[in-house]
């Protein structure tokens, strides 16, 4: 496979590479750049080194066939992956980005490929392994680190991660499935890295992979992938949304509707443990409540084993001063009650009390009508599934003068639902 890829990359004539690289070289040279404070590594110099040299080198030091084409593709990948949000590449000007977009199309045409996607698929086996090596060489590994070993500058590692993410994102179903052997090990290496910027590129790559390959193509790697997701759940705040997104997607994609899979229990336990340590962290709880739904749907009745921890968090979040958290919490409570019918649960009475209290508190909320609608939906569902247990909990509030409207609306809904 690597040999075939090298031959494919060599299909781009050197004269074409030189022509394509001219505007790139000029725009790069004109781009303002300052190395990060405290670093001697220059990302601009790294990118310049990827452009083909206009002068022929002596035969003994010439690059292998196809190397220059692969390097030029990596140059374009780095530039096209640039964003003001990414420290290593925030300086890349828009003009250079536009030129790189045109350059990859010209390369594909010069090499005889029908599209940029075909070119990336052909050249990936040559260019991805070096990217993985750069990331791996900078990982913290107490078992293999050699004293005095020289590691790549972190800026160079960040560029490699961005290049990898861009390459992966160019290929979709069904062609990406044929590259799983190549891209998944590299994506796992980025998740093992200590840098949030590099981890993020691996997570974005995995989201794209999960959406564009068959489940059977992931099966060989699923344990390693899900273990990496679990290891990354205690990630920095800036990565929490991406961690939950990729974990939920990969968990439900690989385990599908198999709630007995131990991965569901382990993943949910890891998430709940982290949320329990920071229950007041708004960003974390909102991200989790927004994304966790597919896991609840897949687990169904097996959620009963997690009720104590789930409802402990829900009862806190129902009364925060953040309307978004409250609404998302109500949405997930409704989903869980509907999925489990809260069989043999000691939480019915407490849940009724908390819902009634929230109904009173919502009087001063800007979203009170939406909140009260959700509260009523849950109460009706509880009455349908718990019967006598619900009635006993409900009786405690029937004479409360502050709940006259709630009682009236609830009665009307019950009559409406019971009528044929």
In a domain, 320, yes or no: yes
Statement to judge: residues 26 and 78 lie in one domain: yes
Q: At what angle do helices 323-340 and 307-317 cross, to 10 degrees?
A: 150
- Structural domain boundaries enclosing 26: 15-30+44-50+66-138+152-213
Q: Which residue has the higher pLDDT, 238 or 303?
A: 303
Total domains in the chain come to 3
Q: Write down which residue in 164, 185, 213 finishes a domain.
A: 213
* 95 and 201 fall within a common domain: yes
Same domain, 124 and 256: no
Same domain, 109 and 171: yes
Give 162-207 pLDDT, tens digit per residue: 999 999 999 999 999 999 999 999 999 999 999 999 999 999 999 9
Do 253 and 396 lie in one domain? The reply is no
Same domain, 164 and 23: yes
Q: pLDDT value at position 343?
A: 60
Nearest alpha-carbon partner for 68 in 58, 78, 82, 56: 56
For residue 174, cis peptide bond before it (omega within 30 degrees of 0): yes
Q: Are residues 102 and 75 in the same domain?
A: yes
**Closest by Cα among 180, 187, 133, 185 to 164:** 187
Residue 39 belongs to a domain: no
In a domain, 179, yes or no: yes
pTM reported for the whole predicted model: 0.88
8 A C-beta contact, residue 138 and residue 151: yes
Residues written for the chain = 420
Domain-located, residue 38:
no
Instruction: For 359-415, write each residue's pLDDT tens digit.
Output: 999 988 989 899 999 999 999 888 888 677 788 888 888 777 777 777 777 776 766
Residues 284 and 360 in one domain: no
In a shared domain, residues 198 and 249: no
Instruction: Examine the domain organization and report whether 203 and 236 are in the same domain.
Output: no
Cα 265 to Cα 24, 286, 299: the distances in Å are 51, 21, 9
Q: Is residue 147 situated within a structural domain? A: no
């Amino acid at each position: 496979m690597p040999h075939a890829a090298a031959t494919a990359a060599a299909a781009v004539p050197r004269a074409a590479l030189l022509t394509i690289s001219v505007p790139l070289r000029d725009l790069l040279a004109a781009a303002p750049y300052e190395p990060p404070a405290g670093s001697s590594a220059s990302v601009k110099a790294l990118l310049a080194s990827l452009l083909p040299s206009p002068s022929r080198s002596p035969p003994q030091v010439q690059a292998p066939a196809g190397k220059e084409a692969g390097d030029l593709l990596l140059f374009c990948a780095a530039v096209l992956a640039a964003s003001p949000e990414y420290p290593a590449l925030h300086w890349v000007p828009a003009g250079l980005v536009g030129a790189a977009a045109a350059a990859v199309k010209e390369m594909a045409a010069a090499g005889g490929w029908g599209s940029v996607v075909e070119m990336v698929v052909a050249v990936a086996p040559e260019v991805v392994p070096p990217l993985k090596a750069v990331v791996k060489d900078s990982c913290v590994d107490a078992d293999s680190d050699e004293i005095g070993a020289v590691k790549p500058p972190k800026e160079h590692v960040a560029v490699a991660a961005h290049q990898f993410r861009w390459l992966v994102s160019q290929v979709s179903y069904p062609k990406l499935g044929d590259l799983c052997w190549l891209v998944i090990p590299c994506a796992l290496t980025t998740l093992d890295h200590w840098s949030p910027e590099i981890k993020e590129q691996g997570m974005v790559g995995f989201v794209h992979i999960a959406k564009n390959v068959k489940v059977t193509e992931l099966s060989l790697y699923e344990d390693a992938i899900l273990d990496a997701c679990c290891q990354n759940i205690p990630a920095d705040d800036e990565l929490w949304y991406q961690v939950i997104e990729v974990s939920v997607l990969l968990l439900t994609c690989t385990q599908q509707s198999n709630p007995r899979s131990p991965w569901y229990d382990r993943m949910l336990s890891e998430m709940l443990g982290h949320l329990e340590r920071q229950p007041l962290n708004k960003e974390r709880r909102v991200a989790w409540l927004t994304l966790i739904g597919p896991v609840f749907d897949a687990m169904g009745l097996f959620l009963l084993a997690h009720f104590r921890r789930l409802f402990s968090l829900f009862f806190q979040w129902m009364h925060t001063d953040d309307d978004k958290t409250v609404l998302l919490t109500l949405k997930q409570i409704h989903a869980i009650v509907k999925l489990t019918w809260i069989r043999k649960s000691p939480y019915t009475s407490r849940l009724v009390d908390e819902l009634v209290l929230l109904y009173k508190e919502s009087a001063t909320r800007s979203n009170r009508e939406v909140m009260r609608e959700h509260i009523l939906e849950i109460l009706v569902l509880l009455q349908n599934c718990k019967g006598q247990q619900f009635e006993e909990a409900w009786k405690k509030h029937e004479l409360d003068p502050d709940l006259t409207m709630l009682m009236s609306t609830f009665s009307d809904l019950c009559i409406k639902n019971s009528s044929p």
